[in-house]
Amino acid sequence: MISTIKGDITGLDFDLIVNAANDQFLPGGGVCGAIFAAAGPALAQACAALPKGKAGDVRITPAFDLPSKAVLHAVGPIYEGTKQNAEDLASCYWNCVALAYEYMREHELSRVSLAFPCISTGIYGYPHEAACDVAIRTIKKIRSAYPDTKAIDIVFVCFEQIDYELYKKALRSL
């Protein structure tokens, strides 16, 4: 199942929630700040031990005080309008689904739930519509290349009305 809701990702008791991370995996603003605040100081400690990343990389940590089970930290691209930006954003979504699948297998689960924020569309400046298009196209692509990933229930959590409208429209035409 792929769906969208409007709200705050930190309150969701999903198996996995995605953080729109920076390449240092440090506490930041926006959704990243909200996730670190709600998870408690142990998350910043866990993230400090992670090897630094680059746009498109994803790392997993426990979720500590959050209601979810683990956090996938996806390094979104800083928008400059390049083709590479789109590829890096697609890598964020692709790598999150791949890691969620690994998590499902490791924990011997038959399904997992995965919640995405609209990566890069805040402080990193990626245009909302183009980012939504990359997200939906990438999810469609990985589900068709690896049908077992359909056992991952995906929710796009939109904090802003503009994103909620875009995702509702895009999902209607899936």
Binding site for ligand ADP (CB under 6 A): 8-10, 20, 29-32, 34, 76, 117-124, 157, 159-160, 163
Helices (H), the chain: 30-39, 41-48, 83-106, 128-145, 161-172
- Under a CB-based contact definition with an 8 Å cutoff, are residues 18 and 115 in contact? yes
DSSP line for 69-99: SEEEEEEPPPP-S-HHHHHHHHHHHHHHHHH
Residue whose CB is less far from ligand ADP, 68 or 121 = 121
Residue whose CB is less far from ligand ADP, 15 or 163 = 163
Residue whose CB is less far from ligand ADP, 3 or 144 = 3
Residue whose CB is less far from ligand ADP, 76 or 108 = 76
Residue 140: what are its φ and ψ, rounded to 5°? -60, -45
Residue 93 CB, nearest approach to ligand ADP (Å): 13
Residue whose CB is less far from ligand ADP, 161 or 173 = 161
- Nearest Cα neighbor of 93 from 127, 132, 64, 126 is 132
- Under a CB-based contact definition with an 8 Å cutoff, are residues 61 and 47 in contact? yes
Residue 143 CB, nearest approach to ligand ADP (Å): 23
Residue 145 CB, nearest approach to ligand ADP (Å): 25
If DSSP codes are grouped into helix, strand and coil, which group holds residue 116?
strand
Residue 126 CB, nearest approach to ligand ADP (Å): 7
Residue 21 CB, nearest approach to ligand ADP (Å): 8
